[in-house]
Amino acid sequence: MKLEQISLQNKLTGKFYTRNVHTVAKELLGKIFVRNIAGEILAGKIVELEAYDGKIDEAAHTFRGKTKRNEVMYKGGGLLYVYFTYGMHFCCNVVTGKKDEGKAILIRALEPVEGIITMSSNRFDKKECTYKELMNLTNGPAKICEAFGIKREQNGVDLCGDEIFILEAPKIIKSSITASTRIGIKKSVNLPWRYYIKNNPFISRK
The reply to whether 183 falls in a domain is yes
Between the CA of residue 7 and those of 3, 21, 39, 125, 172, what are the distances in Å?
8, 25, 15, 30, 18
The reply to whether 34 falls in a domain is yes
Count of domains in the chain? 1
CATH number at residue 58: 3.10.300.10
The reply to whether 106 falls in a domain is yes
Predicted model pTM: 0.94
pLDDT at 88: 85
The reply to whether 104 falls in a domain is yes
Q: Report the mean per-residue pLDDT for the chain.
A: 94
pLDDT in tens, the chain (206 residues): 556 555 667 999 999 999 999 999 999 999 999 999 998 999 999 999 999 999 999 999 999 999 999 999 999 999 999 999 877 899 999 999 999 999 999 999 999 999 999 999 999 999 999 999 999 999 999 999 999 999 999 999 999 999 999 999 999 999 999 999 999 999 999 999 999 999 999 999 87
SS3 per-residue string spanning the chain: CCHHHCCCCCECCHHHHCCCHHHHHHHHCCCEEEEEECCEEEEEEEEEEEEEECCCCCCCCCCCCCCCCCHHHHCCCCEEEEEEECCCEEEEEEEECCCCCCEEEEEEEEEEEECHHHHHHHHHCCCCCCHHHHHCCCCCHHHHHHHHCCCHHHCCCECCCCCEEEECCCCCCHHHEEEECCCCCCCCCCCCCEEEECCCCCCCCC
What is the domain range of residue 106?
3-194
